[in-house]
Amino acid sequence: MALLERVSALLRANVNDLIDKAEDPEKMLKQLVLDMENQLLQVKTQVAIAIADQHLLEKKRKEHESSAEEWHKKAELAVGKGKDDLARAALERALSHEQMTTGFAQQIEDQTHEADSLRSALRKLEQKLTETRSRCEMLIAQHRRARIVGKANQARQKIDASQKGASIDRLKLRVAGAEAENAAHHELLGGDSLEDKFALLEREERIEGLLRDLKERQGKSA
């Protein structure tokens, strides 16, 4: 994701190197913190979107699950009335909704992984932003002191010496943003290929089996 790549680039920036190259270190440090805050806001937005998508997928899954149950009930009613054709049609609808339910369940799993990854990235970014803000405040204070005493060169040498080997740790943010794949495809039946013909036969056989089961259950309960 381009957003997370930009965040990662910001976090990899070496503050001390930026200060060395900046004409106005204080202005540069404030801009660095501002950029990180803006990126943090964008990551929060992405987290909210991911969670909303997750809820939407779950809603769709439940809808298809409920529809499958309704069509099974209709098939039972048709069998009770001796309407085998209606029962077969109802079972056909039930199977289609069950396939959609399975597809949405897979999407929910993928979306949950993506949302969890984004939440983890958000926590890391918040922590690193706090650390960077504190570090920048300290560096700004040091720069002001050096400017006030009028010994910029001498103060710079002392700061470099005291900070040797103590630059901000390299910050890395790795997020596996796996986009949820759409696994809810309708199966196209009745094609001219040999595979399609056998698929149709297998589906009809399954429906006939379900129909027999319904009849047997109703016969036992009668």
pLDDT digits (tens, 9 = 90+) for 41-75: 888 898 899 899 999 999 999 999 999 999 999 99
CA angle at 202 for the pair 197 and 204, rounded to the nearest 5°: 95
> Does one domain contain both 167 and 101?
yes
pLDDT of residue 11: 64
190: left (phi over 0), alpha (psi -120 to 50) or beta: left
The answer to whether residue 200 is domain-embedded is yes
Report yes or no: 43 and 118 within 8 Å, Cβ to Cβ. yes
Q: How confident is the model at residue 109 (pLDDT cuts 50, 70, 90)?
A: very high
pLDDT of residue 173: 41
Phi, psi dihedrals of residue 164, rounded to the nearest 5°: -60, 125
Q: Range with the lowest mean pLDDT among 20-29, 108-117, 124-133, 209-218?
A: 20-29
- Sign of the CA dihedral 30, 32, 35, 37? negative
pLDDT over 80 at 164, yes or no: no
State which of 53-62, 157-166, 207-216 shows the largest mean pLDDT. 53-62
pLDDT over 90 at 141, yes or no: no
> Does one domain contain both 171 and 191?
no
> Does one domain contain both 208 and 170?
no
pLDDT of residue 92: 94
The answer to whether residue 11 is domain-embedded is yes
The answer to whether residue 214 is domain-embedded is yes
Burial status of residue 29 (CB atoms within 10 A of its CB: 0-12, 13-18, 19 or more) = buried
> Does one domain contain both 91 and 165?
yes
- Domain of 70 in residue numbering reads as 2-177
> Does one domain contain both 196 and 123?
no
> Does one domain contain both 221 and 115?
no
> Does one domain contain both 155 and 200?
no
Domain total of the chain: 2
Q: How confident is the model at residue 28 (pLDDT cuts 50, 70, 90)?
A: confident
Q: Range with the lowest mean pLDDT among 60-74, 145-159, 175-189, 207-221?
A: 175-189
The answer to whether residue 139 is domain-embedded is yes
**In one letter, which amino acid is 58?**
E
The overall pTM is greater than 0.85: no
**In one letter, which amino acid is 205?**
E
Work out the mean pLDDT of the chain and round it to a whole number: 76
Q: Give percent of the chain above pLDDT 70.
A: 68
The answer to whether residue 125 is domain-embedded is yes
Question: Which structure tokens are listed for 3?
Answer: 């957003």
Residue 1 CB neighbour total at 10 angstroms: 15
> Does one domain contain both 79 and 113?
yes
> Does one domain contain both 49 and 99?
yes
